[in-house]
């Protein structure tokens, strides 16, 4: 009889403090667990239009060569991005989702015991991966749901190596404007990495939204990350990119796995980049439907945070986990905000017209029941 083996290998101390990230519930899981086959998912800020046809067609063509390793340098995609963004090719790194760049950056620049500064609440992976790297995470609370850039600046110590900013932010949907960011960038010592996660920047239409690429001309310490998961509708493919000085990109490449981006992702993203109509259709849908949701929230007398993105943070006035569970029973998947310590809030992704209507109908029922009990 074999005895159950115990773990004798000792994990790094840092692992003790990691609470795993909870992603939005996949629809297949809902089917398996609750038997609900027909559901809508407004939980992960995905593009509701399905992938662009041009991307789909490019992917189909690339299948026949899947026995070959991907291009380790993402030559074509990098060149296309370089032309589009007017930045040097060696200023770009393509990644397995833009979140891979968080890890590459930490592995390249952060030592055990170094400090990193994050907002709170914000995208949780900043914190989780920083802890995994052995960093001390300094959390600067948001003020009125916006980054407190002054508070972040005054949290800098000689041990600070990185400041993370999601712009626009997730889960609030707010943004740091041009004037705030200009000042911020100027005030951060150049030995500190400013990590600007711009996963949602294509949705941000305000005139005072900053043009972050401009900072790269004068600073080597800025990393900007973007993704094909949101406006380009390719979350399933895992492809994002980072833009920085060639010196920083070189450091990230040193710790990168040679084949981090799969070939279908490279082909799909390349085609999606050229599908300007798809991007425009998405922008228009989100603009119109966000308005619809705002109006519905107003009519329900609910507080929400005006959003520069494709999702909205709403205060339901009740326990968010309860709302999440009640909506789930009706086949509507959204996110409760408990991991972000916003206990009465939910975050809802802007879906198609039909999806948003269904969400509002079910949400109203749930709210009415709770309000009358």
Instruction: Tell the burial category of 179 from Cβ atoms under 10 Å away from its Cβ (0-12, 13-18, 19+).
Output: exposed
Give the residue, chosen from 71, 182, 315, 343, that forms a contact with its own copies under the rule CB under 8 A: 71
SS3 127: helix
Name which of 243, 255, 257 is nearest 105 in CA terms: 255
Question: Which residues make Cβ contacts (< 8 Å) with residue 156, sequence separation at least 6?
Answer: 117, 163, 188, 189, 192
Give the residue, chosen from 30, 40, 42, 62, that forms a contact with its own copies under the rule CB under 8 A: 62
Q: How many residues bind its own copies (CB under 8 A)?
A: 95
Stretch of 204-212, 216-224, 313-321, 356-364 lying at the interface with its own copies (CB under 8 A): 216-224
Instruction: Tell the burial category of 45 from Cβ atoms under 10 Å away from its Cβ (0-12, 13-18, 19+).
Output: buried
Q: If binding is defined by CB under 8 A, does position 301 make contact with its own copies?
A: no
Q: If binding is defined by CB under 8 A, does position 225 make contact with its own copies?
A: no
Stretch of 50-58, 196-204, 308-316, 324-332 lying at the interface with its own copies (CB under 8 A): 50-58
Restricted to residues 93-152, the positions that interact with its own copies (CB under 8 A) are 96-97, 99-100, 103, 107-112, 125, 129, 132-133
Q: If binding is defined by CB under 8 A, does position 208 make contact with its own copies?
A: no
Give the residue, chosen from 40, 48, 185, 293, that forms a contact with its own copies under the rule CB under 8 A: 48
Name which of 310, 353, 272 is nearest 52 in CA terms: 272
Give the residue, chosen from 35, 38, 67, 157, that forms a contact with its own copies under the rule CB under 8 A: 67
Stretch of 3-11, 202-210, 283-291, 359-367 lying at the interface with its own copies (CB under 8 A): 3-11
Report the nearest approach of its own copies to the CB of residue 102 (Å): 8
The two tokens of residue 274 are 């050229």
Give the residue, chosen from 34, 37, 75, 288, that forms a contact with its own copies under the rule CB under 8 A: 75
Nearer to its own copies, 7 or 301 (CB): 7
Taking a C-beta distance cutoff of 8 angstroms, is the pair 50, 266 a contact?
no
SS3 166: strand
Give the residue, chosen from 207, 258, 372, 373, that forms a contact with its own copies under the rule CB under 8 A: 258
DSSP strands (E only) in 249-368: 303-305, 311-315, 332-333, 335-336, 345-349
DSSP one-letter code for 357: H
x/- letters, 159..188, toward its own copies (CB under 8 A): --x---------------------------
């Amino acid at each position: 009889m074999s005895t159950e083996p115990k773990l004798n290998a000792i994990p790094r101390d840092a692992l003790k403090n990691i609470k795993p990230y909870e992603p939005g519930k996949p629809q297949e899981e809902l089917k398996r667990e609750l038997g609900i086959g027909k559901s809508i998912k407004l939980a992960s800020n995905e593009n509701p239009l399905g992938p662009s046809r041009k991307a789909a067609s490019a992917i189909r063509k690339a299948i026949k060569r899947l026995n070959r390793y991907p291009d380790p340098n993402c030559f074509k995609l990098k060149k296309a991005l370089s032309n589009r963004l007017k930045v040097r090719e060696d200023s770009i790194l393509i990644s397995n989702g833009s979140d891979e760049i968080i890890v590459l950056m930490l592995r390249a620049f952060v030592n055990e015991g170094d400090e990193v500064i994050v907002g709170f609440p914000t995208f949780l992976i900043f914190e989780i991966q920083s802890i995994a790297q052995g960093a001390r995470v300094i959390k600067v609370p948001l003020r009125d749901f916006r980054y407190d850039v002054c508070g972040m600046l005054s949290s800098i110590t000689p041990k600070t190596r990185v400041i993370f900013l999601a712009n626009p932010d997730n889960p609030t949907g707010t943004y740091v404007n041009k004037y705030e960011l200009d000042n911020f960038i100027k005030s951060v010592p150049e030995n500190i990495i400013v990590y600007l996660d711009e996963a949602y920047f294509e949705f941000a239409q305000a005139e005072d939204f900053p043009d972050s690429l401009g900072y790269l001309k004068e600073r080597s310490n800025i990393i900007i990350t973007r993704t094909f998961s949101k406006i380009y509708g390719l979350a399933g493919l895992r492809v994002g990119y980072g833009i920085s000085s060639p010196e920083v990109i070189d450091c990230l490449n040193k710790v990168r796995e040679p084949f981090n981006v799969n070939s279908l992702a490279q082909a799909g993203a390349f085609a999606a980049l050229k599908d300007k109509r798809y991007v425009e259709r998405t922008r228009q849908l989100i603009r119109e439907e966000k308005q619809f949701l705002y109006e519905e929230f107003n009519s329900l007398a609910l507080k929400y945070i005006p959003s520069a993105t494709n999702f909205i943070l709403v205060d339901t006035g009740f326990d968010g986990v309860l709302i999440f569970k009640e909506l789930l029973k009706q086949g509507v998947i959204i996110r409760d905000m408990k991991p972000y310590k916003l206990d009465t809030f939910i975050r809802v992704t802007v879906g198609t017209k039909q999806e948003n209507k269904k969400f509002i109908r079910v949400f109203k029922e749930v709210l009415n029941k709770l309000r009358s009990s």
